[in-house]
Structure 1
């Protein structure tokens, strides 16, 4: 399950097997990309977006702009006989003032559906963020190149998953044999929306975020609208979900509303109704799964906002704490338990008239026993092993026998 063998055919360190004159450059078009809702042409190349231009124009929040431009779930997909592939890309990597360096983004290569190599690019831009002030500065850098060689000399289907944690501008695609778009395999299309956990924060690589793992196990085609810090019931996100073709839809709601201390209970219920109403305008009968928050002890009964905890920064650890007061729940402040209770009630109410609407308690994906075994390293985000567990649990509960995404239910 996306385990990377030592003898994988793609060798990212070997020099190109083909002379420069023999390379074929293929235009980077939407037909070669999956998982993106829009493709912006830039001075360097093309930039995949996970929200359409109309949605981006309706919000100037820098965190959302960064999150939706990071290519979680976006992959290059094509058919070729090439034994060598080069990709020029300009990355924008996040860095945090005073914090340890973030890991470099990885590109995951699959050949005929099997893991075949990993690589990264050097250079690129750095977005330096000061968590104490919220300010950010972009430090420009050069385009980098990744290379896979030693691929089998036969016609094959190739997927290159772009880094889930970096903004990636695709500059040029070169191969030593022609490339053609990959025909639709006819798999069901799964559209998912959630927070940084769905986005893939602290996952090992782009194909091992929990939604990517669940999609692989469920045999479906993923479009991941997990948006770090930005699963906030925004109407423009609901419209993006409404307008995107899908056979299966899930929305994970709650943690970012607490993180941001964005709304009170009075506003929460109507906002969820409106969000689901908008999705149903475009997908009236599609199986729709509402997922409540995973266990997060700092916010189970303590409202937000979440605040950075710098107490262990000298040891290389950036953590988070709940800055709210449990007594504020009486005034309508949201906690994860409050949200779960309201979501369960609301979905039960709507399901009386919408038999394709379902609810999943996020603690069934990651609960108290899981936290005891695999605690959240920064108090908010799961590590790579936990992403795998969540992905396996979701696949079993949603795609397994009797689940809301099984063929007999869908």
Structure 2
């Protein structure tokens, strides 16, 4: 039996977790950085990462038992690398998982790591269907894939849709690296920030950018201008594995990043988080590179290529960064009562690595994302709410 479907325009009041919506000829592309910040992006890596909708979801109230969402996904293909799994969309009804769906086709972005080139070929619009939903009025969230850029084309339901206000829920604004972005997590609600937000009962705005937590001031300015009740910044791994700066530049860059956030949030609780345990970079600086032996086996693994002796000249390691962040926060907290520090080793340390090793030497797997999210919810949100 055919059901009459109602089309609801996808407007900003239905989208959470995005700082900007770009209206293209084909659909609506959520961005996690505003247009002014995107104009400052110096490379394709960050441009790609900020357009991947980690933490972005459609939120509405409806009695619909059937929801359809037309999307254009961007499928990434890395030359010479194993194929990537399709991104997962998850539908939650009143906070409980009620469906998962993927689309197998879309635009294709081919990336050649050897030459640094990217090529995009347009693909089709595809429809996600979530059926057999409870028939009573309920809050629906459709979480977009954390690692697959997705244009929203049309939303259809078999009952009217109403926007939902956030009520008294606090907004948590977080910035970090690919681990915060969700690399190697299996689903969008399985990234560690999504896990922590669900446990703490807060609305997440996730500015975790794969390869791009580099203390960029345009990111700090975006955070400065974004309403938030709680803010956290996770600093370390990208600065080491990109070999982006030395200790002399790192310390004032951290101060500048925090100063910029404080310009817009002078008293908002602000948490500085250091990197989780990562053996390849604990005492060895970057740059980080693909492990050739792993590639010959058809596996993606990373290795550190720096010389530990160069730390004496200011090259950064995770150990150095953790020590400096603890010192910086202690110094600043003398005049900033709402600034706190969290050692990343409390989220995932050496003992955890022995039990749950990083599969590619850099990123946690799905089980470890959950572990980190559970620990963050307990350690970070205590005393904030």
Q: Which residue of 1 aligns with 2:61?
A: 79
Are 1:27 and 1:173, in contact at CA under 8 Å, matched by a contact in 2?
A: yes
Asked if 2 retains the 8 angstrom alpha-carbon contact of 1:18 and 1:176, the reply is no
Find runs of 4+ consecutive structure 1 residues off by over 4 angstroms.
none
Mapping for residues 339-354 of structure 1, pairs under 5 Å: 339-354=321-336
| 1:64 equivalenced with 2:46 (yes/no) | yes
The gaps in structure 1 that reach 5 residues or longer are 1-16
Tell me the residue number matched to 2:205.
223
Alignment partner for residue 260 of structure 2, among 260, 266, 278? Answer: 278
1 CA distance for matches of 2:341 and 2:46? Answer: 26
Q: Which residue of structure 2 lines up, in the alignment, with residue 42 of structure 1?
A: 24
- Tell whether 2:168 aligns with 1:186: yes
1:53 aligns with 2:35: yes
Confirm whether residue 298 of structure 1 aligns to residue 280 of structure 2. yes
Q: 2:245 maps to which residue?
A: 263
Equivalent position of 2:7 in the other structure: 25
Aligned ranges 1:351-362 → 2 under 5 Å: 351-362=333-344
Does residue 328 of structure 1 match 2:285? no
**Cα deviation 1:314-360 (Å, max 9, x = unaligned):** 43311111011111111111110110111110100000000110001
Which of 181, 187, 201 in structure 1 is aligned with 2:183?
201
Equivalent residue number for residue 213 of structure 1: 195
Give RMSD over aligned pairs: 1.0
SS at structure 2 position matched to 1:102: coil
Q: Is the 8 A contact 2:75 2:105 kept in 1?
A: no
* 1:6 alignment partner in structure 2: none
Residue in 1 aligned with 2:133? Answer: 151
- What's the counterpart of residue 376 of structure 2? 394
SS of 1:193 mapped into structure 2 = strand
Distance across 2 between alignment mates of 1:368 and 1:113:
34
Contact 1:131 / 1:308 at 8 angstroms: preserved in 2?
Answer: no
Which runs of 5 or more residues in structure 2 are unaligned?
Answer: none
How far off its partner does 1:238 sit?
Answer: 0.3
CA offsets, 1:98-117, max 9 Å, x none?
11111110011100111111
8 Å CA contact retained: 1:252, 1:293 = yes
- How many residues are treated as equivalent by the alignment? 385
TM (norm. structure 1) is 0.92
Q: CA separation in 2, counterparts of 1:81 and 1:392?
A: 32
Secondary structure, counterpart of 1:262 in structure 2 = coil
TM-score normalised by structure 2 residue count: 0.98
Pairwise mapping of residues 370-409 of structure 1 onto structure 2 (< 5 A)?
A: 370-399=352-381, 403-405=382-384, 407=385
